[in-house]
Each structure stands twice: as C-alpha cells, then as structure tokens.
Structure 1
Amino acid sequence: MNRRRFFAFVGLTVASLLLAIGLPLRSVSTSNLVAQSNGSLLVSTAASLKEVMEEIKTNYQQSKPGVTINYNFGASGSLLQQIQQGAPADIFISAGKKQVDTLEQSGKLVAGTRSILAKNRLVLIVPKSAVGVTSFFNLTGNSIRKIAIGEPRSVPAGQYAEQVLKKLGIFEKVKTKFVYANNVRQVLAAVESGNADAGLVYRTDAKISNKVKTVVAADEKYHSPIVYPMGVLKQSKNVAAATDFVKYLSSEQAKITLKKYGFILP
C-alpha cells in the first residue's frame, strides 16, 4: 500500500469511528488538542507579588514553552471587582482571604483548585536617611507628617495597617496623616520618594528597595493572617493549563523562588 492510500485509509477509519459513536467530524481538530496543553493564560495577581511571579513565569515557561503567562498586577480588591464585572482572567491570586472567599462563595472558582501560595508580614518603613523612628508609636510625633497606607477598601495591606494601628491604640491620633495609595507598591514608592515620612508595606516590598529601611514588623496577633490564596476561575477558556500552573505554584521549585524573595511558605 503506497503512502497516499495509507493516509486515505487512516482518514476513512477515523471518520467511520467518529460517525459510529455519533460525534460530528468537526468536533475533533488538531488545534483543540493542542489547546489542552498550550495557550495563553492571564493571571490577575496582587501587586506585591510582581518580582517573584515574573521569575516564576520564566522558570515555568522553560518546561512549558507552549504556555504564555501574562499578568495583571493590582490591588486585590480592584482585581476582584474587575473579575466580577466580567474582565478576562484565568487565575486569581489575592493578598487577602476575603477576596477569594467572595469568588468561591459566588461559585466562580473551579472546585479543588484553591490553595495558599504564601504568607507575609506587615512592616513599618521609613526613608533610608530617616532617624528617630524606632516603633509604631513614633508615628504620633510631630516629625511624622504623612503616613502612606493602602486604600483599605481595596488594598489588603491597608486593611492590615488599620487593624494594627487600632490594636496599638494610635489610629485616631494618626489617621489625619494618612496618604492613601491604590496598591502596596504605591505605598513603597511614596516612602522611597520622600512624599511620605513613613508607610506600612509587606516585608517582601521593603526587601526589594534600597531606598527605605524597615523599622519594625507588626505583631501578627494585631491583624488578620496575611495569606495569598489562589484559584482557577470557571470563566477560564483553558482550565487545564490554568490548573497546571496553579499546581506548579505549589511545587518545590516555586517554593524556592518564593523563599528567595522573602515570602513565608504555607
């Protein structure tokens, strides 16, 4: 049997099988099969994960060159709102539990894909050249005129900051000094530039900057647990690839990268 007749025979055999089980011929195509393992993913993720997620993407795509990872970085509350309003996303990673709870309770997460990526600590930072600030209580002094925090309605770091300041009993004394930012990286930038005399960010944010210094870490009993929950969204057009990437984020290789950037492993 020559090559042409052989391939014709194979084609007819496959067609006969498909018809025998009642499937239309157009239901199976090479592009559909490839899409199961390849494709493009959009990950909506907390701004505080920017550097570590970029490195994780590089590592992942070395073993999965057919998958393209794109990120949408922002405040967790804002990202949640975008998803609720129909913005495209395959995976959501929040800097707070509440946002992912909302999606799960409304049935928008693929069952069994939710897990904790990492944990973090909240710290008080000041410009590198600042002197005289040794504790949260110094924030009430006249030398501190502006305190940058995330907008509590959309930024988990801002919510944690308010919780800490209230527990310490100084919230009412310092709230007039607040400069609100749209995400935690804007808080960092405000302190770096001197537009704020102090700020509350995650330990990992302070770690990437040589323009600020950490004064003190907040006692964890003064705020809700700082965790990064994640999950695959039902609206994803490539659930298989999204689920595989989420599994990779819990792998030993990903954990090494997270630890390198100062994140606490779950």
Structure 2
Amino acid sequence: MKRRQIIAFLGTAFASLLLAVCSPLIVPSAVTAQSNVNLLVSAAASLKDALEEIKPLYQQSKPNVNINYNFGASGALQQQIEQGAPADIFISAGKKQVDALEQKGLLVPGTRSVLAKNRLVLVIPRNKTGITSLFNLQKPEIKRIAIGEPRSVPAGQYAQQVLQKLKIWPQVTGKLVYANNVRQVLAAVESGNADAGLVYATDAKISDKVKVVVAADEKYHSPIIYPLAVLKSSKNANAAKEFTQFLTSPPAKAVLKKYGFILS
C-alpha cells in the first residue's frame, strides 16, 4: 500500500514539474503575439490629413501596431530611403519616385499598387479677384506664383508641365516662388505671400483661406497618381503589407474620398 502511495506521489510530482517546465515555453508565444510593432510610413505631404485620420481606424483592429508618419516632398523622401533612412512603406505623389526605388531593388516584389489619384488646381487667396484662368498669371499685377520645387516635388513637376504646355512658362518664370512641398505652396497662398499657387485639389479642399480658380486640364501633365510599396529595408514586412491592404479597404477609401482623392 505504501509503495502505491509513493508511486502516486511521484507521479503527481512529476506531472507538476512537467507543467512548471512547459508553462514558460507557452507563455512567451502569447506575449510575442501581443507585442507592439512599429511601422514608419514615408508619405507625400498632400496625404497628411487623410492618413492621420486613417491611423486610428486601423488601430481599432490592430492596437498593437503603432503607425508613425514621415511626411514630405516625394523626391526628398525617395532620397532619404536611397540613403538608408528607416522606413517600412513609401507612398509617393508621383510614379517617378517609386520607379527609381524599384529600379534599385529597394521594394518588396508584388507590393506596389496605386492608392489614389488627384487633380492639379490653381488657387488664389479667398479675398482676391481678377484671376479667372491660368493665362491670367501673365498679368503684371501678379507678382508671386508659388509652386513646388520641380526637382523634388511632384506637384511642382506637374505645374511646370502645365505652364510649359500652355506656353506661358517663359512669361511667369521670374514670378515663381519655389516651395519644398505642396503644403508650403498652400501656406504661401493662404498667407498672401503668393498671389496664386498650383496645388492639388485635395489641398485646396482643406483650406478656407483659398479658392480654386480652375483645374488644370489633365492632358497637360503626367497622370497624378499615388503609388505605394513596402520597402525591403522594413523589419516588419508582414505588418507593413497588412497596413497597405487596409488602405484599400472600405473604411480607408471613405476617408480618402472625403478629402477629395480620386479612387479607381
């Protein structure tokens, strides 16, 4: 009888020991599943308001994913990425910048897509009159015209294309004030530091200090598209892919539409 009791005791002790040893192996996996993931999205400045609003929507279902943004001119962001700056996702306001990264093998294959489209518009301060077309920019009373720096800002590249196609580039070149991103162009017109500016329709939509004179004819410039892709340098590629997929979901699309982006 005593022998049976001893065997039973040893069996129970062994089972308890086994549970104690195995439990630590099980718990960390649960902790790992709940650990925070940080994603850095380098995105065109014109996307700022929309992406900021999309962020909490995503985190409702993915509370462990921290989304951080680096907004700026697409060309400047492209250069940062090429020089090794950390980023998980790149969203450009032009095809050229993403093409350059793809050619250098810096994108995760199969992750490139087009997020949205936009329009280029001529804006003036809300209280200003006398400008009804792009051709009016040649008027002597128009002293300063703000556009993005064409070498690094897609909105500036599109603006240059339009002004050249309309054959008024030589007449307005001396009036041009170059900005580091499209939001700076908008700010210049809002403050009255520029008599007019060329920005995206989405930028004009968020401001009550400017008014739209006219939208540039799309045949005068390259298509205004927003390509996105996951970067090979990402340490959280799977999480980055999931976020890019969410950007095409109905909740995210609703936000983009709200801000005036064109969705295909």
TM-score of the superposition, structure 1-length normalised? 0.90
Matching residue's letter, 2:97: Q
More moved, 69-78 vs 105-114? 105-114
How much identity, in percent, do the aligned residues show?
68
Kept in 2: contact 1:163–1:222 (CA 8 A): yes
Q: Which residue matches 2:16?
A: 4
Quick check: 1:178 aligned with 2:190? no
- Which of 112, 123, 147 is 1:149 aligned to? 147
Please give the alpha-carbon distance, in whole angstroms, between the structure 1 residues aligned to 2:122 and 2:215. Answer: 6
**Residue 142 of structure 1: CA displacement?**
1.0
Paired residue secondary structure (1:213):
strand
Kept in 2: contact 1:47–1:75 (CA 8 A): yes
Q: Which residue matches 2:101?
A: 103
**Residue 31 of structure 1: CA displacement?**
8.6
**Residue 143 of structure 1: CA displacement?**
1.5
Q: Which residue matches 2:68?
A: 70
- Which of 132, 137, 140 is 2:138 aligned to? 140
**Residue 150 of structure 1: CA displacement?**
0.2
Paired residue secondary structure (2:198):
strand
Please give the alpha-carbon distance, in whole angstroms, between the structure 2 residues aligned to 1:93 and 1:261. Answer: 17
How many residue pairs align between the two structures? 252
Over aligned residue pairs, what C-alpha RMSD do you find?
Answer: 2.0
- Which of 194, 197, 200 is 2:198 aligned to? 200
Please give the alpha-carbon distance, in whole angstroms, between the structure 2 residues aligned to 1:9 and 1:238. Answer: 31
Q: Which residue matches 1:56?
A: 54
**Residue 7 of structure 1: CA displacement?**
1.7
In structure 1, runs of 5+ residues without a counterpart are: 16-28
Please give the alpha-carbon distance, in whole angstroms, between the structure 2 residues aligned to 1:82 and 1:155. Answer: 14
Matching residue's letter, 1:128: R
Q: Structure 1 residues 240 and 211 mapped into 2: Cα distance closer, same or farther (>3 Å)?
A: same
Deviations 1:209-263 (A, max 9, x none): 0000000000000000000000000100101110100010111111111001100
In structure 2, runs of 5+ residues without a counterpart are: 1-11
Matching residue's letter, 1:98: K
Please give the alpha-carbon distance, in whole angstroms, between the structure 1 residues aligned to 2:95 and 2:175. Answer: 28
Deviations 1:145-189 (A, max 9, x none): 000000000000000000000111101100110000000000000
Please give the alpha-carbon distance, in whole angstroms, between the structure 1 residues aligned to 2:182 and 2:42. Answer: 15
Please give the alpha-carbon distance, in whole angstroms, between the structure 2 residues aligned to 1:9 and 1:211. Answer: 67
Please give the alpha-carbon distance, in whole angstroms, between the structure 2 residues aligned to 1:192 and 1:222. Answer: 26
Quick check: which has more Rg, 1 or 2? 2
Quick check: 1:127 aligned with 2:125? yes
Please give the alpha-carbon distance, in whole angstroms, between the structure 2 residues aligned to 1:166 and 1:39. Answer: 46
Matching residue's letter, 2:33: V
Deviations 1:71-110 (A, max 9, x none): 0000000000001111100000000000001111111111
Matching residue's letter, 1:73: F
Matching residue's letter, 2:106: K
Q: Structure 1 residues 9 and 146 mapped into 2: Cα distance closer, same or farther (>3 Å)?
A: closer
Kept in 2: contact 1:76–1:95 (CA 8 A): yes
Structure 2 matches for 1:1-266, cutoff 5 A?
1=12, 4-8=16-20, 10=22, 30=29, 33-34=32-33, 38-266=36-264
**Residue 34 of structure 1: CA displacement?**
3.0
TM-score of the superposition, structure 2-length normalised? 0.91
Please give the alpha-carbon distance, in whole angstroms, between the structure 1 residues aligned to 2:33 and 2:160. Answer: 48
Matching residue's letter, 2:258: K
Matching residue's letter, 2:111: T
Matching residue's letter, 2:165: K
Kept in 2: contact 1:38–1:241 (CA 8 A): no
Matching residue's letter, 2:245: K
Matching residue's letter, 2:169: F
**Residue 9 of structure 1: CA displacement?**
5.9
